[in-house]
Structure 1
Amino acid sequence: MTYEGVLTKMQTEYSNPIQYYLVFENSFLHLNQLLNKSMEITFLGYQCLNCGKKKKIFRQGFCYDCFMSSAAAGDWIMKPELSTAHLDIEDRDLEYEKRVQLQPHIVYLALSSEVKVGVTRLTQVPTRWIDQGAVQAIPIIEVPNRYLAGITEVALKNHFADKTNWQKMLKNEYLPVDLIKERASLKYLIPKEVQEYYHPEKDDLYDLHFPVLEYPKKVSSLNLDKLPNFSGKLTGIKGQYLIFEDGTVFNVRTFEGYVVKINL
């Protein structure tokens, strides 16, 4: 069977194990059903997720012009502490920024390669942790806007990593940590502005189980710009990565906006 379309990040369903779907315009693939089977990925071209034009993808599925102009690619996306919608100050599009920034956000601890601190919208729980390949995660606080979440993350970055070691995550290398105890120790590290939202007694630890038959000992990234055609046996899915029998891993999210053909 052949599937063709523009890559977007895999859609997920929180269950045991997590269910993964690759969704195209007119079809979709339930990837869990392809474990231990061969698949071929062929790069056909580009299509910007924002403007829809067949222009080379620059970042986050956007062409260069859209990445530099779209409100969905503002600096506050990666650095929530730069959010200004709560002050009625526009970055690129105040209406869009209010819609995204002025909603409940979570600051959390997640265990993937090590314990990391991060920020996500409440509506993205637990999707955000699945996308990161975290085996456990726990909210620290829930706040009403992205700015408060951002300054909390900044305060905690001195004590926790804020990025995932993707190679260790894919090899499932991590030291067990009691996230409930870690969260309970943070009271005096959290900014005064958000102390009222800190409730460490909640029973809200998430365990995440990924569909992986065997974790690789070494990993090598598939880059469609350098290798436009790849075939391999799918042995696992974790985070936004497809894991193949030979240790090749493919980060679907990195190649959003790429047009591909998949043969099964």
Structure 2
Amino acid sequence: MTYEGVLTKMQTELGNPIHYYLVFENSFLNLNQLLDKELEISFQGYQCLNCGKKKKIFRQGFCYDCFMASPAAGDWIMKPELSKAHLDIEDRDLEYEKKVQLQPHIVYLALSSEVKVGVTRKTQIPTRWIDQGAVQAIPIVEVPNRYLAGIAEVALKSQYADKTNWQKMLKNEVPPVDLVQERLRAGTFLPNEVQEYYSNQHPDLIDLHYPILTYPKKVSSLNLEKSPIYQGKLSGVKGQYLIFQDGTVFNVRTFEGYIVRILL
């Protein structure tokens, strides 16, 4: 069978294990059903996720022009502490920025390769943790806007990593850590503006289980521009990565906006 379309990040459904779907315009693939099966991925071209034009992808699924202009690619996306909608200050589109920034956000600890601090909109839990390949996660504090979450994250970066080591995550090299205790410790480093939202009564610790037959001992990242055709046997899915039996891993998120053909 043949499937073709523009890559977007895999859709997920919480379960034991998590269910993964590649969704195209007119079809979708349930990746859990493809474990231990051969598939071929081939690069066919580009389509910007914002303007829809067949232009080379620059970053985050956007062509260069859209990346530089779209409010969905503003600096505050990656650096929440730069959010200014709460001050009624526009970056690129104040209406859009208010909609995204002025809603409940969660500052959390996640265990994927090591203990990591992060920020996400409340509506994106547990999706955000799944996308990072976390095996456990716990909220530290819920705040009413993105700015407060951002300054809390900045304060906690002195104690915790803020990025996942993707190679360790994919090889399942995860240290044993008590996230409940780490959350209590993290609470002592929160800035004054955030302290009123923190409670010593910890929320539920979330465990996440991925559809993986075997973890690779070594990983090699597939780059569609350097290797436009790849064939391999799927052995697992974790984070936003497809894991193949030969140790090749494919980060779907990295190649958003790429048109691919998948042969089963």
State the partner residue of 1:232.
232
The alpha-carbon deviation at position 156 of structure 1 amounts to 0.2
Distance in 2 of aligned mates of 1:137 and 1:203: 10
State the Cα deviation string for residues 36-64 of structure 1 (Å, max 9, x = none): 00000010000000000000000000000
Letter in 1 for 2:169: M
Distance in 2 of aligned mates of 1:260 and 1:186: 43
State the partner residue of 1:120.
120
Map 1:149-228 to 2 at 5 A.
149-228=149-228
Letter in 2 for 1:232: G
Map 1:106-117 to 2 at 5 A.
106-117=106-117
Say how many residue pairs are matched. 264
Q: Does 1:71 align with 2:74?
A: no
Distance in 2 of aligned mates of 1:102 and 1:183: 25
The alpha-carbon deviation at position 154 of structure 1 amounts to 0.2
Instruction: Name the SS for the 2:150 alignment partner.
Output: helix
The alpha-carbon deviation at position 200 of structure 1 amounts to 3.0
Distance in 2 of aligned mates of 1:247 and 1:258: 22
Q: Indicate conservation of the 8 Å contact 1:140/1:200, yes or no.
A: no
Residue segments in structure 2 that go unaligned for 5+ positions in a row? none
Distance in 1 of aligned mates of 2:187 and 2:132: 25
User: Sequence identity, in percent?
Assistant: 80
CA-atom RMSD in angstroms = 0.6
Q: Indicate conservation of the 8 Å contact 1:151/1:191, yes or no.
A: yes
Distance in 1 of aligned mates of 2:228 and 2:187: 50
State the Cα deviation string for residues 96-142 of structure 1 (Å, max 9, x = none): 00000000000000000000000000000000000000000000000
The alpha-carbon deviation at position 196 of structure 1 amounts to 1.1
Instruction: Name the SS for the 1:57 alignment partner.
Output: coil
Distance in 1 of aligned mates of 2:145 and 2:49: 26
Q: Indicate conservation of the 8 Å contact 2:139/2:203, yes or no.
A: no
State the partner residue of 1:142.
142
Distance in 1 of aligned mates of 2:246 and 2:200: 43
The alpha-carbon deviation at position 188 of structure 1 amounts to 2.4
Displaced runs of 4 or more, over 2 A = none
Distance in 2 of aligned mates of 1:188 and 1:214: 39
Q: Indicate conservation of the 8 Å contact 2:109/2:139, yes or no.
A: yes
TM-score where L is the length of structure 1:
0.99
The alpha-carbon deviation at position 203 of structure 1 amounts to 3.4
Distance in 2 of aligned mates of 1:3 and 1:124: 28
Distance in 2 of aligned mates of 1:253 and 1:199: 34
Q: Indicate conservation of the 8 Å contact 2:138/2:203, yes or no.
A: no
TM-score where L is the length of structure 2:
0.99
State the partner residue of 1:132.
132
Map 1:79-118 to 2 at 5 A.
79-118=79-118
State the Cα deviation string for residues 133-171 of structure 1 (Å, max 9, x = none): 000000000000000000000000000000000000000
Map 1:233-252 to 2 at 5 A.
233-252=233-252
State the Cα deviation string for residues 22-48 of structure 1 (Å, max 9, x = none): 000010000000000000001000000
Distance in 2 of aligned mates of 1:150 and 1:186: 15
Distance in 2 of aligned mates of 1:149 and 1:252: 27
State the partner residue of 1:46.
46
